Amino acid sequence: MLTVLDLVGIFVFAITGALVAVRKDLDIFAVLVLAGATGLGGGFIRDVLIGAVPPAALADWRYLLVPVVAGLVTFFFHPALGRVERYVTVLDAAGLGLFCVTGALAALDRGLGLVPAALLGMITGIGGGMVRDVLAGRVPLVFRGELYATPALVGAAIAVLGERAGLDTGLVAVVGASVCFGWRVLAVRRGWNAPRAARSAST
């Protein structure tokens, strides 16, 4: 169950990475590299921080196949994907929701406490997009003034608390991922903005 959610998250994140590469007119290998770095980056960061090295993704062929397929699909069919660019943010939000939950539950599995596990879930969720944006020379999405890190932290906290309360893992994962996903999508669609610091003449 968690593995399936993880693979779906990798797939949607990898597509967002591949789209960024295609938009920059990069060649097919750059598309595959950025798809892989985006899809697997968050999980690598999580695995290194919890000491689960070498990361499972390096040994499991499914974890390698998924970003390659996502990259190839994007490369060959991107005009169709381009037309639905408004759904790209939705894909990113879906990956965020899935990864914050799987990251948090993986940390719990390693014996971490509630707070570290929730934080690791958030880091896993935002890590892939950060790797994508830093490598592509863009300001990371998390800094562009839309609500991003908070839904990931809340989704991860829901998963951690539900799991610790003895609820069904699958249910807990779906609820946590859905809350993060729905919150993020609504924030983007409705143009919710978090407050910015007051401007003053002295700055």
- The answer to whether 122 and 147 have CB atoms below 8 angstroms apart is no
DSSP single-letter state for residue 202: T
Restricted to residues 41-60, the positions that interact with a second copy (CB under 8 A) are 44, 48-51, 53-55, 58-59
190: tokens are: 């409705």
The rounded distance, in Å, linking the Cα atoms of 85 and 18 is: 13
Residue type, 89: T
> Toward a second copy, which CB reaches closer, 9 or 17?
17
Cβ proximity to a second copy, 29 vs 189, nearer residue: 29
Q: Give the CA distances from residue 90 to residues 6, 69, 151, in Å, rounded to whole numbers and listed in that order.
A: 17, 19, 14
- Going residue by residue from 68 to 87, which x/- string records binding to a second copy, judged by CB under 8 A? -------xx-xx--xx----
Compute the distance between CA of residue 40 and CA of residue 128 in angstroms, rounded to an integer. 7
Q: For residue 12, what is the DSSP state?
A: H
CA distance 182 to 49: 28
Does residue 191 belong to the site contacting a second copy (CB under 8 A)?
no
For a second copy, give the closer residue by CB, 165 or 197. 197
- Residue choice 87, 109, 143, 164 for contact with a second copy (CB under 8 A): 143
Q: Which residues bind a second copy (CB under 8 A)?
A: 21-34, 44, 48-51, 53-55, 58-59, 61, 64, 75-76, 78-79, 82-83, 107, 110, 112-113, 115-116, 119-120, 126, 130, 134-137, 139-140, 142-150, 193-198, 200, 202-203
